[in-house]
Structure 1
Amino acid sequence: MRKTLVCIVGPTAIGKTAVGIELAQGFGTVVLSADSRQFYREMNIGTAKPSQEELTVVPHYFIDSLSIADDYSAGDFERDALIVLEAMFAWHDVVILVGGSGLFVDAVCRGLDDLPGPMPGVRERLNELHKDQGLEYMQDMLQRIDPIYYSEVDIHNPQRVIRALEVYESTGKPFSHFRQQKRAQRDFDILKIGLEMDRQLLYERINSRVDAMMEAGLLEEVKTLLPYRHRPPLLTVGYAELFDYLDGTYTLERAVDKIKQNTRRYAKRQFTWFRKDTSTHWFNPDDVSNIIEWIDKRRL
């Protein structure tokens, strides 16, 4: 029987971690995390990592594998994940990959497109523009030149927005153009499972999880990360808003409301990203028995 990578994808707070663990237990295998923020040891509460108990139940890879000071790209993850998969497939017929970071999931499943490097000076100019004009100005630029990628990307992540802009300014072609190239060949089968539920219920789960994170000490975690606040992983939802609070931009109540609002928007964009792949089969996160049955049928 061929080796199979089962990818569990979907929006934040929908329950991917729990489903991934149940599937790993069912198939007697391991989990690879494709959540790009869970790589970092210093980012715990705001990234909703698996608990120590969950990590004990099923071996996980790429959790706490980096320091916040480390540079790490989707290309790095593609390389490292393929090495781990080769080792894991020597022992397991099935491996579970779990994550909501679409670019990192794509890196493993289809390979990264051969994106051109920036022309000299372009990145520096865009970084200065971001510093002077703010993220919203950069978002508006991206929406005008590449509405396709704008509808999919996490527009609250300045690194992703600036990268798309520099590709356009260096080539004259939108970032989305380069994401339509031929996929890499893998020596294992890939089954993609998307998790979905009623949108209002998901939003309620998001709001409740943000409240739980605050009660668990997210603000204190953010304070410990102040020296690293300009590192790309921290320019993201849940951290950026609390840095703004510490700067006096928002009240704490307003910052928490912004986290909830931006997380809901991010979830909507995650749905957009994952739904463009028509090979993904969608389930409710409570349907684990049906998911296992579906996987078994596809592997016959």
Structure 2
Amino acid sequence: HFDYRLALMALDAKVHKLRLNPGNIHNKDGVREVVKRAKEQKTPIRIGVNHGSIGDRQPGDIRDEAQRMVDLALSEIRILEDLDFDDIVVSVKAFEVPVMIAAYRRLAKAVPYPLHLGVTEAGTALAGSIRSAAGMSVLLYEGIGDTIRVSLSEDPVVEVKAGFDLLKSLGLRDQGLTLVACPSCGRADIDLIPLAKVAEERLRALPVPMKVAVMGCEVNGPGEAKDADVGIAGGVGKGAIFRKGKIVGTFPEDKLMDGLLAEIDKILIENGKEPYSQKAPKLSHEGQLTPGRSVPAGQRS
């Protein structure tokens, strides 16, 4: 950002990839110097346009915001191409989802380079994940985009998890836990919300792709989640463990999580994998990760 000399310093430090923002690095000779150095070192460059840094609209400019972003990216691309540099990734991020979608659609038609998708300054965990999904899922479903970032005011680990969850929702990645959980309703015979949260935390480190269901009642649970590899269906003071819609055991409510972990271990062993239950993260009574303690499944708060 702002000073091309910082990019040169980053190259001196042997970064794996460099990002240039054409909205705030205006010294074109400096940009050319950076590109020449990157070419020598075989370092890829991402041309990263952000809507917030493209500058004020000039009098007489009738282009919409998406086109202004695309044109700025294309102008920077030409500088790199003139220097015979083509190890390029491009992004045109905006906070406003319709602007971001329009910009990426146009850019995808204009350049052959990989596109890095993102909604910039998306926000905190919940709102930011929703905004990011609203923008990126449209493009990914259309086959646009090669890499993504879910930008959140959060720990980067949360960003990565949100990104994988987005890709899993679109069928583009199959990794670790996919949790299926019904909304709470009058038919639920167990304290569903805490149980679903406990299951998500205890199973978050699953080493293989697995769809796990947490359903509130035995009447609809196994049927509605019959495509899940394994799951819980609640009952009055007890619950059932099922695999692919077939009930394989029943447990008291406070042993349901143990029963689920045991069934997951069976699945893993049947497929030549190591059991998971002893490695699973444990929870304190406050729902926080802590060594050596666990919350009984379905414990009411």
Instruction: Give the TM-score range, shorter chain.
Output: under 0.3
More helix by share: 1
Q: How high is the TM-score relative to the length of structure 1? A: 0.23
Bigger RCO (CA 8 Å, 6+ sep): 1
Name which one, 1 or 2, has greater alpha-carbon Rg: 2
Q: How high is the TM-score relative to the length of structure 2? A: 0.23
